[in-house]
Amino acid sequence: MSKPAINFFLEDVKYTLKNKTLIRNWINDTIIAEGYQLEELTFILCSDEYLLAINQQYLNHDTYTDVITFDNSETLKMIEGDIFISIERIQENAKQFKGTVLDELCRVMIHGTLHLLGYKDKGKAAKTLMTQKEDEYLALFSASLGKLAI
């Protein structure tokens, strides 16, 4: 049996993702905490235009977005998927919400992962639960980042 994998790729952008091992462990810990098992998860960091083309082609949406998640799982409780993230949207959001690019990127990464874990964000109650879960897991990531600084 192969080891579960979390991969990071760049499409159409230049970006250096730091703390990859920490991020991988955090995402995997989140999946386990939710009662799932990781098969394979790929994060593709891309440009606005690249993600817009995916949004148009696969979802028939003609809008910019920060994240699109594709669930490729074929087995119950096994996570396999592709999460496309616009680095340009993340950078804009970080400015708008007065946060760091890493904080915003982690929020979107966990958002996409939570979609694979069955969480939705359509409707007020679903959106509230999604945000609550994002905050819960982001706090765990911040705590593990804090340990690096010690």
117 vs 36: CA distance, rounded Å: 7
> Any known ligand binding at 111?
yes
Token digits for 21? 């091992």
Percent of the chain with pLDDT over 70: 95
pLDDT value for 150: 46
Instruction: Write the pLDDT tens digit of every residue in 83-123.
Output: 999 999 999 999 999 999 999 999 999 999 999 999 999 99
pLDDT value for 148: 63
> Any known ligand binding at 61?
no
Whether the CA torsion 124, 74, 9, 46 is positive or negative: it is: negative
85 vs 105: CA distance, rounded Å: 8
CATH number of 6-149: 3.40.390.30
pTM score of the predicted model: 0.94
Domain boundaries, the chain: 6-149
The H-or-E segment that residue 32 falls in is helix 20-33
* 87 and 46 Cβ atoms separated by less than 8 Å: yes
The answer to whether residue 4 scores a pLDDT higher than 90 is no
